[in-house]
């Protein structure tokens, strides 16, 4: 069981930012990644569709021997986490709770901004997560859908990106937040722009916090792998023209072991 991989899935290849964080913190772990690129984005789909896709993704990873499943997709975590947990026989962790815990730890004035896709923000998943942790804070959500396209275009510090970011973030700044929680796998790549515009506040990258939570969970279950030579296998449900370029931007290293896979629902 120790050598079995951690399974990670996302609606696309943005979840490779989560894989990057996990590989940095848990270098011994084998990882199998599934990006459902044929059906992205999940954020515009119905709740029922996202649940169906998420269950298919989880079952695929289990068929590849996953000992633990990470839902790197914020939309899936928002609406399908509890359902996936009830339908599979391995532990499942989502990307929302770890970021919430860290935001509560670092905030000083209790005013926390959360940015994400429209579905993630309007689902109320973050407000629910903060309440679950007994938080007495004000959560200010802001949907920022254009950031996804800007990141995939590679416009990480482009003037247009800064212009869009200023429009999105200025209301949060005026509301006096002291902590900004990045609620999308794409958003950490825009950190230089966020820091420039928001100044001296706390930034919470949920990908990093998920890596910490996953390490603790593996240790508690006594299934962590030792060493530093963990393998990474990447499966995608569609191979777009520039998927490798974008994927390597998220992963921070060359993509070498990848292949296309067809899921039952496709």
Report whether 9 contacts 58 (CB < 8 A).
yes
- The domain in which residue 248 lies consists of 6-94+208-260
Residues 188 and 101 placed together within one structural domain of the fold: yes
Q: How confident is the model at residue 57, as a pLDDT?
A: 98
Residues 106 and 59 placed together within one structural domain of the fold: no
Cis peptide, bond prior to residue 69, ω within 30 of zero: no
Digit-coded pLDDT (tens) for 92-107: 999 999 999 999 999 9
Residues 145 and 237 placed together within one structural domain of the fold: no
CB count, 10 Å around CB of 200? Answer: 6
Residues 36 and 103 placed together within one structural domain of the fold: no
Residues 184 and 105 placed together within one structural domain of the fold: yes
Number of domains in the chain: 2
Q: How confident is the model at residue 198, as a pLDDT?
A: 96
Strand partners, 139: 112
Residues 48 and 140 placed together within one structural domain of the fold: no
Strand partners, 159: none
Residues 50 and 174 placed together within one structural domain of the fold: no
Residues 174 and 236 placed together within one structural domain of the fold: no
DSSP 26: -
1 part of a folded domain: no
Confidence of residue 228 (pLDDT cuts 50, 70, 90): confident
Name the percent of the chain lying above pLDDT 90: 79
Digit-coded pLDDT (tens) for 36-91: 999 988 888 899 999 999 999 999 999 999 999 999 999 899 899 999 999 999 99
Q: How confident is the model at residue 251, as a pLDDT?
A: 93
**Which CATH number do you get for residue 48?**
3.40.50.1860
265 part of a folded domain: no
Residues 134 and 184 placed together within one structural domain of the fold: yes
Q: How confident is the model at residue 265, as a pLDDT?
A: 67
Confidence of residue 21 (pLDDT cuts 50, 70, 90): very high
Digit-coded pLDDT (tens) for 114-173: 999 888 898 888 999 999 887 789 999 999 999 999 998 899 989 999 999 999 999 999
pTM for this model (two decimals): 0.92
Residues belonging to the active site: 73, 184
266 part of a folded domain: no
Q: Which of 173, 205, 237 is the last residue of a domain?
A: 205
What's the chain's average pLDDT? 93
């Amino acid at each position: 069981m120790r050598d079995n991989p951690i399974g990670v899935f996302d609606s696309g290849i943005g979840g490779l930012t989560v894989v990057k964080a996990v590989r940095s913190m848990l270098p011994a772990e084998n990882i199998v990644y599934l990006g459902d690129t044929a059906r992205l984005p999940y954020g515009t789909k119905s709740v029922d569709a996202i649940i169906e896709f998420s269950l298919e993704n989880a079952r695929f990873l289990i068929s590849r021997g996953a000992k633990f499943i990470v839902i790197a997709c914020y939309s899936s975590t928002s609406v399908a986490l509890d359902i996936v947990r009830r339908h599979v026989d391995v532990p499942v962790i989502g990307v929302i709770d770890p970021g919430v815990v860290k935001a509560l730890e670092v905030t000083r004035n209790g005013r926390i901004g959360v940015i994400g896709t429209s579905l993630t923000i309007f689902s109320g998943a973050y407000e629910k997560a903060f309440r679950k942790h007994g938080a007495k804070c004000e959560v200010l959500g802001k949907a920022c859908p254009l950031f996804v396209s800007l990141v995939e275009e590679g416009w990480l510090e482009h003037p247009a990106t800064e212009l869009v970011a200023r429009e999105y973030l200025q209301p949060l700044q005026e509301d006096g937040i002291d902590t900004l929680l990045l609620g999308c796998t794409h958003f950490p790549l825009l950190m230089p722009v966020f820091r420039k515009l928001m100044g001296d506040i706390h930034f919470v990258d949920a990908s990093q916090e998920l890596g910490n939570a996953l390490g603790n969970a593996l240790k508690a279950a006594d299934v962590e792998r030792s060493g530093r030579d963990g393998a990474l296998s990447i499966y995608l449900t569609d191979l777009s023209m520039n998927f490798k370029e974008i994927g390597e931007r998220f992963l921070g290293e060359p993509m070498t072991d990848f292949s296309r896979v067809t899921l039952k629902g496709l």
